[in-house]
């Protein structure tokens, strides 16, 4: 059975350097904490699991260590490095992707838990030649400085507008049955995406424009 992650040369190169295979990748993606050091040398790898993911419309068959998070599967196995690893603990939102239509932190879920599911990453929203409207608006409004949080911000904001559209209430919604777009709603709903450069006013402006609100 061919595994198409094997065919991706950037991964193979890195993996070869790291003594190969899923174990090598897991080592890269796992912070080596002091108390783990002794067990690392002897602990055998668990049996691998077969995972099928549809990412940005393309189907992939992967054979993974069950420890591999969805984030690491995307970055280290599928070479989709647009999705960023920030805190790796669900606090910063840099890893936000859209799974089965919903935004989630890809760092806090295992790839194997999403077997058979559809994932949209920043690479699937637009291309350099044909930007997604949210990508174009972030460029136009300077919705970033360093850009590290941007893929997560954009995936999050695209899904967030869908949540407002569906009438899903937030902490700042005065009437739970009437969800209305506002800057306050955007700020609250985007609180799971941290921007260390504090581009927040411009991010809100970009989202406002895509929503179709007044400048």
Partner 1 sequence: MRAFTYERVRTPQEAAQAVARTPGARFIAGGTNLLDLMKLGIERPTHLVDVNRLGLDTIEATAEGGLRIGAMVRNADLAAHARVRRDYAVLTRALVAGASAQLRNKATTGGNLLQRSRCPYFYDTSKPCNKRQPGSGCAAIGGFSRNLAILGVSDKCISQHPSDMAVAMRLLDAKVETMMPDGTTRAIAIANFHTLPGETPHIENVLKAGEFITAVSLPKPLGGKHFYRKVRDRASYAFATVSVAMVKGPGVQRFAFGGIGTKPWRVEAAERLSGADAIAEAVLAGAQSTQQNRFKLALTRRTLAAVLTEA
Q: State the residues that interact with partner 1 by CB under 8 A.
A: 26, 30-31, 33, 35-36, 39, 43-47, 49, 65-67, 69, 88-90, 93, 96, 102-105, 108-110, 112-113, 156, 160, 163, 166-171, 173, 176-177, 187-189, 191-193
The least CB distance from residue 7 to partner 1, in Å, is 25
The least CB distance from residue 90 to partner 1, in Å, is 6
Q: For partner 1, which is the closer residue by CB, 13 or 91? A: 91
- Contacts of residue 1, defined as CB under 8 A and 6 or more positions apart, other chains included, come to 61
Using CB atoms within 10 Å of the CB of residue 41, give its burial: 0 to 12 exposed, 13 to 18 middle, 19+ buried.
exposed
The least CB distance from residue 89 to partner 1, in Å, is 5
List the Cα angle 73/164/114 in 5-degree steps: 20
Distance CA 1, CA 11 (A): 19
Q: Where are the alpha helices (DSSP H) in 43-149?
A: 70-72, 122-125, 133-140
Q: For partner 1, which is the closer residue by CB, 29 or 131? A: 29
Q: For partner 1, which is the closer residue by CB, 67 or 132? A: 67
- Contacts of residue 49, defined as CB under 8 A and 6 or more positions apart, other chains included, come to 63, 64, 65, 66, 112
Q: For partner 1, which is the closer residue by CB, 139 or 176? A: 176
The least CB distance from residue 128 to partner 1, in Å, is 26
């Amino acid at each position: 059975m061919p595994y198409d992650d094997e065919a991706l040369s950037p991964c193979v190169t890195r993996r070869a350097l790291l003594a190969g295979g899923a174990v090598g990748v897991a080592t890269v993606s796992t912070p080596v904490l002091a108390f783990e050091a002794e067990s690392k040398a002897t602990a055998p790898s668990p049996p691998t699991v077969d995972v099928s993911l549809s990412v940005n419309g393309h189907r992939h068959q992967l054979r993974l260590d069950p420890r591999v998070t969805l984030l690491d599967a995307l970055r280290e196995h599928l070479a989709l490095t647009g999705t960023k690893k920030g805190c790796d603990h669900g606090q910063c939102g840099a890893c936000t992707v859209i799974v089965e239509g919903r935004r989630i932190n890809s760092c806090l879920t295992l790839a194997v838990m999403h077997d058979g599911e559809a994932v949209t990453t920043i690479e699937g929203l637009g291309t350099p030649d044909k930007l997604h409207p949210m990508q174009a608006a972030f460029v136009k409004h300077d919705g970033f400085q360093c850009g590290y949080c941007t893929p997560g911000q954009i995936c999050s904001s695209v899904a967030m507008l869908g949540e407002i559209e569906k009438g899903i209430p937030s902490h700042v919604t005065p009437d739970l049955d009437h969800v209305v777009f506002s800057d306050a709603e955007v700020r609250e709903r985007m609180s799971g995406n941290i921007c260390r450069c504090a581009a927040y006013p411009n991010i809100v402006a970009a989202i406002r424009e895509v929503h179709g609100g007044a400048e």
